[in-house]
Amino acid sequence: MKILSIFTKQKKFEEQLLNGEMEYSSYYKDSFKRLKKNKAALFCLGVILFLVLLALFAPVVSPYDPTYQDYASVLAPPSSKHLLGADEYGRDILSRLIYGTRVSLSIGILAQILASVIGITLGAIAGYFGGAVDTLISRIMEIFAAFPDLLFAMAIMTFMGQGLQNLFIALGLLTWVRTARLIRGSVMQLKEKEYVEASKASGGTSFRIITKHLIPNCLSTVIVLVTLGIPNAIMYEASLSFLGLGIQPPTPSWGNMISSAQSFISFLPVYSIVPGIAIMVTVVAFNIFGDGLRDALDPKLRA
C-alpha cells in the first residue's frame, strides 16, 4: 500500500513537471527566494544601491565641486547655500561627503577583489595539493594573521607611501587570510567528491579541476566574504585616513574629513558628525545585507 502511494506521488510529480505546473529551481534561484524574504537585508541592499548611484553620479548630484574653496563661507554653519555647512577652506561639506562615497566604496570593493584573488589562489592551492605546499602557505597565513591589523596597514602605508593605489594593496594584503582559510577548508572537503574523481579519471589536469570544479563550488562562500569584507575595508580606510596615512586632502574621504573636523568641534560640530554617520550607515548596510546573503546562500557559514 505504502509503496503504491510513493509511486502515485512520483507520477503526480512527473505530471506536474511535464505540464509546467512545477519547475526545477536552481541553487541560486533558491537562495534568491530566501533572500527576498529577508526584509532588512533587502532594505540594506537598497541603501547600498543608493550609495553606489551616489558615487557614480557624484558630479551631477553634489551642489559644488568638492575642492572649490569659497573663502566667504569658511566654517559656515548649515544654511540654504551650504546644506551641511562649509569646512575650514570654505569647501561645501555635503559635496565632500558625496565624493567621499566614491573613495570609500571603490576602496572597499577593490581591496576585497585583491584579497579574494590572493585568498582564492593560495587557499585553493594549499587545500588541493596539501603536504609541504599546504604547510608553507598555512605558515604564511599564520604570520599575516598574527600581525595586528591596523598596525600592519599603517606600516605598509608608511613604507609604500600614501595614495589610493597603495591603500588598495595594504587593505587587500590585510584581509586575504580569511578568504584563503575558508577556501582551503572547502577545497579540502570538495576534492574528495566523486565529480573530482571523474574529472581526474577523464584526464583533467589539476589546473582544470581547481578552476572548473572546485572554485565555482566555493563561489557562494566568496560572495559572502566579499560582502562582509567591504565594510571592514571601509572602516580601515577611514581609520588610516583619520591617522593621516590614507587618503590625503584635498581629496575628500570620510576618514580625513573627521580628522580635519577635529579642530573645529566647538565651532562646527556638524562637520565631525556627518562623515561618521555616513561611515556608519554604509557599514551597517553592508553588514546586514552580508548577513542576509550568508543566511540565504550558505547557512553553514553562520557563526
Partner 1 sequence: MFQYISKRLFQTLLVLFGISLITFILLQVVPGDPVELMLEKRADAQTIARVRHELGLDVSLPQQYLNFLKGAIHLDFGKSYFTKEVVITALVRCFMVTVKLASMSFLFAVVLGVACGMAAAINRGKWIDSVLMTISIVGVSAPSFWIAIILQIIFGLKLDLLPISGFEGPVFFILPSIALGTRYAGSIARITRTSMLDVIKQDYIRTARAKGVKEGLVIMKHALKNAMIPIITLVGTELGNMLTGSMLIERVFSIPGIGKLAVDSMSNRDLPLLEGTVMYIAFVFVIVNLLVDISYAFIDPRIRYGKGAN
- Residues near partner 1 (CB under 8 A): 139-140, 142-143, 146-151, 154-156, 158-161, 231, 235, 238-239, 242-245, 255, 258, 261-262, 265-266, 269, 272-273, 275-276, 279-280, 283-284, 287-288
Nearest distance in Å: CB 176, partner 1: 15
- Residue 279 CB neighbours (<10 A): 22
- Rounded distance, CA 163 to CA 67, Å? 17
Residue type at 39 in one-letter notation: K
Shortest gap between Cβ of 270 and partner 1 (angstroms)? 10
Name the residue among 171, 82, 81, 165 with its Cα closest to residue 119. 171
Please report how many Cα atoms fall inside a 13 Å half-sphere around the Cα of residue 156, on the Cβ side.
23
Least distance in Å: CB of 8 to partner 1? 38
Task: State in angstroms the smallest separation of the CB of 219 from partner 1.
Answer: 26
180: left (phi over 0), alpha (psi -120 to 50) or beta: alpha
Give 22 or 265: the residue with its C-beta nearer to partner 1: 265
Nearer to partner 1, 40 or 198 (CB): 40
Task: Spell out the alpha helix ranges (H) of the chain.
Answer: 2-18, 27-37, 39-56, 58-61, 93-129, 131-146, 149-160, 164-190, 194-201, 206-208, 215-217, 219-242, 254-261, 269-297
Least distance from partner 1 to the Cβ atom of residue 156, Å: 7
| Set of cell numbers at residue 170 | 595594504
CB 218 within 8 A of CB 233: no
Q: In angstroms, what is the minimal distance from the CB of 200 to partner 1?
A: 26
CB of 214 to partner 1, least distance (A): 21
Using the structure block, give the residue that is written with the C-alpha cell 509511486. Answer: 7
Give the phi and the psi of residue 79 in degrees, each rounded to 5. -150, -175
Choice between 209 and 261, CB closer to partner 1: 261
The three grid cell numbers given for residue 163, joined into one nine-digit string: 595614495
Work out how close the CB of 86 gets to partner 1 at its nearest, in angstroms, rounded to a whole number: 19
Query: Which CB, 215 or 288, lies closer to partner 1?
Result: 288
By the 10 Å C-beta count (0-12 exposed, 13-18 middle, 19+ buried), 241 is classed as buried
Gap between the Cα atoms of 255 and 246, Å rounded: 8
Nearest approach in angstroms of CB 83 to partner 1 is 20
CB contact at 8 A, 223 and 290: no
